[in-house]
């Protein structure tokens, strides 16, 4: 079943089997708050598969969160980001660039603990559209680097992120 789904995705792109890349990034994720944005340290992982010389399919997951405490209350907000993308890509002379778009989702959790007692929790889903870009290069055939920048637009606003990471390439030679 999974192969059929993959083929259904690839055939319209004129795809052929290519490289599989695993990426790990660290950076900042500016999460949308009620009235501004909160920058959060954000590690993320990506998997993408080169469907052709000019397209790849990607999936990513990222984490973020921030704390807001004062004398009256402890409040913790954490979030996970999930997205699927189709990327346009180009690679020349060891440098590459990608620009991708796809559905995304942020799960945002909050925990509020007043110092005088009580414990309140909740989770909201923020489905939206994920846009991501990257530029990078290779240290070797298998190992490369990249700089990324992206945005997740959803009903509550736009989350921005930027990072730097390493990519490990398996197979393919596109």
Which pair of tokens denotes residue 48?
């993408």
- Name, in order, each residue with C-beta under 8 angstroms of 70's C-beta and a sequence gap of 6 or more: none
Cα 150 from Cα 134, distance rounded (Å): 8
- Name, in order, each residue with C-beta under 8 angstroms of 1's C-beta and a sequence gap of 6 or more: none
Q: Which stretch binds other proteins (CB under 8 A): 43-51, 94-102, 116-124, 130-138?
A: 116-124
Question: Minimum distance between the CB of residue 58 and other proteins, rounded to whole angstroms?
Answer: 27
Q: Which stretch binds other proteins (CB under 8 A): 18-26, 46-54, 89-97, 152-160?
A: 152-160
Question: Minimum distance between the CB of residue 152 and other proteins, rounded to whole angstroms?
Answer: 14
* Pick 88 or 115: Cβ nearer other proteins: 115
* Pick 33 or 138: Cβ nearer other proteins: 33
Which pair of tokens denotes residue 5?
């789904």
Tell me the β-bridge partners of 168.
Answer: 22, 143
- Interaction between residue 38 and other proteins (CB under 8 A): yes
The binder of other proteins chosen from 26, 68, 95, 168 (CB under 8 A): 68
3-state secondary structure 27-50: EEEEEECCCCEEEEEEEEEEEEEE
The binder of other proteins chosen from 27, 58, 157, 165 (CB under 8 A): 157
Of the candidates 170, 32, 164, which has an alpha carbon nearest to the alpha carbon of residue 104? 32
Question: Minimum distance between the CB of residue 129 and other proteins, rounded to whole angstroms?
Answer: 16
The binder of other proteins chosen from 28, 33, 96, 174 (CB under 8 A): 33
């Amino acid at each position: 079943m999974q192969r059929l789904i993959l083929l259904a995705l690839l055939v319209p792109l004129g795809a052929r089997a290519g490289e599989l890349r695993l990426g790990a990034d660290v950076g900042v994720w500016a999460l949308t708050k009620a009235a501004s944005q909160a920058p959060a340290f954000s590690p993320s992982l990506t998997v993408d598969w080169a469907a052709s010389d000019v397209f790849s399919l990607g999936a990513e997951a990222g984490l973020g969160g921030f704390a807001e405490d004062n004398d009256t209350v402890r409040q913790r907000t954490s979030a996970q980001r999930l997205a699927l993308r189709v990327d346009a890509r180009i690679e020349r002379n060891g440098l590459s660039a990608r620009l991708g778009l796809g559905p995304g989702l942020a799960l945002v959790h909050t925990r509020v603990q007043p110092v005088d007692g009580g414990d309140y929790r909740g989770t909201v889903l923020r489905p939206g559209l994920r846009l991501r870009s990257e530029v990078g290069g290779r240290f070797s055939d298998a190992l490369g680097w990249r700089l990324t920048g992206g945005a997740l637009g959803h009903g509550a606003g736009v989350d921005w992120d930027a990072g730097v990471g390493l990519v490990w390439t398996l197979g393919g030679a596109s």
